[in-house]
Amino acid sequence: MAIDMGAAIAAIGAGVAIAGGAIGTGVAQSAIGAAGLGLIAEKPEELGRVLLFLVLPETLLIFGFVIAILIMLYAGIV
């Protein structure tokens, strides 16, 4: 099974899209998690708000996944 150069570059681009989303999500969640733990230590009733803010960066990874799927569909890999 041979893959042409365009499809190979598209596959690398799809990987970069997912990796960028994952790294961005990790950086954002580390800062939000640290601040959220401090808030919960002082005000335990704010747990719901902290969980909401902790889940929001996950959209970065979802967007990266969608972009990767679109790249692979356009390149004819999937």
CATH of the domain at 45: 1.20.20.10
Task: Please tell me the total count of domains within the chain.
Answer: 1
Query: Pick from 69, 35, 71: which is nearest to 53 by CA?
Result: 35
Of 78 and 73, the structure prediction assigns the larger pLDDT to 73
In a domain, 30, yes or no: yes
In sequence order, which residues have a C-beta less than 8 Å from that of residue 76 and are 6 or more positions away?
A: 7
H or E element, residue 47: helix 47-55
Say what percent of the chain tops pLDDT 90. 85
Can you give the length of the chain in residues?
78
Range of the domain at 14: 10-75
pLDDT in tens, 36-58: 999 999 999 999 999 999 999 99
Contact at 8 Å (CB) between 54 and 33?
Answer: yes
In a domain, 52, yes or no: yes
Of 1 and 66, the structure prediction assigns the larger pLDDT to 66
In a domain, 2, yes or no: no
Say whether pTM exceeds 0.85: no
